[in-house]
A and B are shown apart, each in its own frame.
Chain A
Amino acid sequence: MNAILILIPLFPLLGFLILGLGFRAIPKKWASVIGPGTVLLSFILSLVVFFNFHDFAASPTRFFFPWLHVGPLDIPFSFLIDPLSILMLLIVTGVGFIIHVYSIGYMKDDPGFNRFFAYMNLFVFSMLLLVLGANYPIMFIGWEGVGLCSYLLIGFWFRNHEYNNAAKKAFIMNRIGDLGFLLGMFLIFNIFNSLSFDHVFAQAKSISFGNPSIVAITLLLFVGAVGKSAQIPLYTWLPDAMAGPTPVSALIHAATMVTAGVYMVARSNILYVLSPATMAIMGMTGLATALFAASIAIFQNDIKKILAYSTISQLGYMFVGLSVGAFTGAMFHLTTHAFFKALLFLCAGSVIHALGGEQDIRSMGGLRKTMPKTFWTFLIATLTIAGIPPLSGFFSKDEVLVKAFEFGHLLWLLLAIGTLMTAFYMFRMLYLVFFRDFRGSDEQKHHLHEAPSVMRIPLVILALLAAFGGLINIPALLGGNEGLSKFLAPVFADSFSIMEHETPVSNGTGWLLMSVTFVGVVAMAVWAYFRYAKGKHGLEPDDTSRSFPVRMVSNKYYIDELYDYLFVKPVLRISRFLHEIVELRFIDRIVNGVGNLVVWTGSTVRFIQTGNVGFYMFIMILGIILILFLNILI
């Protein structure tokens, strides 16, 4: 089994190496086999692991080779196979494979075709390491690796400096989070003397609630999660990251990488459970992000940016879920989100593809007729994310909402408002893109076409997953068997036994909550329909003067500008100050000053040597008198 296990990440790595080393020599045809092929192999092996998962129950940690061993520090290269990692494994390789296939069509004409697949394979490899690692450092390898791939893929079209800037921003913001992660690891090592999940979690069980070290650890790790999963305050990179090719956005910035933070918190659930303070902070962060991002999404006009903010918002939901102890719910939402958000992005990709790169929804419209398949899949995705039963999004979101309600009614209310906003902006987008008349140029209109089958089939598969993915965890309330919950239960068992449990909502309340949100969502859909499909809204150019709050929101609350003002500019200014003032005018001047002083002294002292014998004699006599005087008379 170990061989299979190591092969899962090795296949994509192999794909990367082949495509990367021979990137010019390999024809596109081969690349389009190698790229997705390796991921498919990984997916198949993941399925094998999934079906043999009981073999791992006894010894979930599989050792491969010692990696870093210094005295007390022992970090083996080993994988942890438990339900949680298997779930992620399937998502990463499964969704990854689908998106790879889609990319064959999407990137068909790009000169960097091979390079693209190389990077994508590398990404899958890193993501698999992240998911499979049996200790924090191995996870961190993947953690940083996906950051790198994200950097490479956002800046894939590197002729454009704006894209490059976006890529750099993503990497640096991730790195800020990574520093938190790193420090968290150090603290873990300090407290537990180990970094392996099994050791740490086993020891953690015996630690008291709210232990300050644990709080610090979890907060630091959460900083990492904030960076990676684009939460407030480190979220601004994700909208910019849309500079990358759309499949990248689908795979990395929707389905997998950005959820790594959620995965990490879920993985460390026991630590988080021990730290209510962190949970509270996490919950507030998640909630704020969910609402904040949703509010921005309403006023965005770039199809991918809307989806980006939507992703941020949905990630916020997941963190709220985690913070209220709904680990399964969060993971469930993560899974369904992977399906529907990947689908949304791929649909958006088809649209962009069809429009020759156009991303502004104000220049779209009426695509329902020319791209029916895309429209239908997009519709399914929209309904899913909006939470229309019985599509998967409904179940996953509902699970988080119900848990939130147990935790506090206000929390539920705010989340529900977020849900309504989600529904609103999603339907706004749907209507603006697919309804009304086409608003683009004639040339675009002429070229409008449905995506080729290599792109369509992935859409369909994802649409099916998005629609029926909810089946894996239908709540008991609706007569489901809660399959995913049971599957994941061992992972969270310890936490559940420690955690304080709120009284579960009664069935009646459950139904009530469900219906309230449902009605609200439908209302939003209708409102948006009249506003955007029938009405004349949503086409205003950016610069029309609007009321202050609207201007705030549509400019993303000026957060980018704020960061620029607070961090980027000061650092540059400090840099200039340090270099020009401290370094050159101060330190170096002191160093040179010593030298100059010596030279100056030398050039001055030499004038004692007047060349005048009388003077010399005079000085000598002075010297003699001084020596005699000092030595004899004193």
Chain B
Amino acid sequence: MAPISSIPIQYYLVFCSVLFSIGVVGVLIKRNALVILMSIELMINSINLLLAAFSAYSNDPAGQIFVFFIMVVAAAEVAIGLAIVVLIYRTTHSIDINVLNKLKW
């Protein structure tokens, strides 16, 4: 067994959850689209870590493969996200998510 298993899985779990939660909180309390994007990245990376840990603990490569998938997808997502932020900035000259509030009720 790799030395990784000397750390109990719960630690990873708690750590990743905390990381994830930080990401969530970041998304919730920030109004800057870029920061939110970064917080989401944080959430996704915490999941990646968790998956890798699970994968290592259960000796199943699928989890790690999935991590690659996620990274690819996340990259695509970020690309789109940044494009959108640019778009928004062009029209509103702001990247505050609450400035755009025309569609409601």
Contacts and interface: CB of A to CB of B under 8 A. Distances in A.
* Direct A/B contact, Cβ within 8 angstroms: yes
Interface of A: 606-607, 609-614, 617-618, 621
Contacts of A606: 105
Contacts of A610: 101, 104
A618 B27 CA distance: 9
A611 B103 contact: yes
A610 B105 CA distance: 6
Q: Which 4 A-B pairs have CB atoms at the shortest separation, nearest pair first?
A: A611-B104, A611-B101, A613-B97, A606-B105
Interface residues of B, number: 11
Contacts of B27: 617
A617 B30 CA distance: 11
Contacts of B97: 613-614
Contacts of B28: 614, 617-618, 621
A611 B24 contact: no
Contacts of A609: 104-105
Mostly helix, strand, loop or mixed at chain B's interface? loop
A613 B98 CA distance: 7
B105 A612 contact: no
A103 to B, nearest CB: 80
Contacts of A617: 27-28
B102 interface: yes
Nearest to B102: A611
Interface string B37-75: 000000000000000000000000000000000000000
B105 A607 contact: yes
25 contacts: A606-B105, A607-B105, A609-B104, A609-B105, A610-B101, A610-B104, A611-B101, A611-B102, A611-B103, A611-B104, A611-B105, A612-B98, A612-B101, A612-B104, A613-B97, A613-B98, A614-B28, A614-B31, A614-B97, A614-B98, A617-B27, A617-B28, A618-B28, A621-B24, A621-B28
B34 to A, nearest CB: 14
Interface of B: 24, 27-28, 31, 97-98, 101-105
A548 B101 CA distance: 88
Contacts of B104: 609-612
Nearest to A605: B105
B77 to A, nearest CB: 17
A610 B97 CA distance: 13
A18 B97 CA distance: 91
A613 B28 CA distance: 10
A280 to B, nearest CB: 80
B105 to A, nearest CB: 5
Contacts of A621: 24, 28
B23 to A, nearest CB: 12
Contacts of B101: 610-612
Nearest to A615: B98
A612 B98 CA distance: 6
A612 B104 CA distance: 8
A613 B27 CA distance: 10
A607 B104 CA distance: 8
B21 to A, nearest CB: 10
B61 to A, nearest CB: 29
Nearest to B24: A621
A623 to B, nearest CB: 13
Nearest to B31: A614
B32 to A, nearest CB: 11
Contacts of B105: 606-607, 609, 611
Given A612-B98, A614-B28, A618-B28, 7 more contacts: A609-B105, A610-B101, A611-B104, A612-B101, A613-B97, A614-B31, A614-B97
A611 B104 CA distance: 4
Nearest to B101: A611
A610 B101 CA distance: 8
A613 B37 CA distance: 14
A323 B30 CA distance: 102
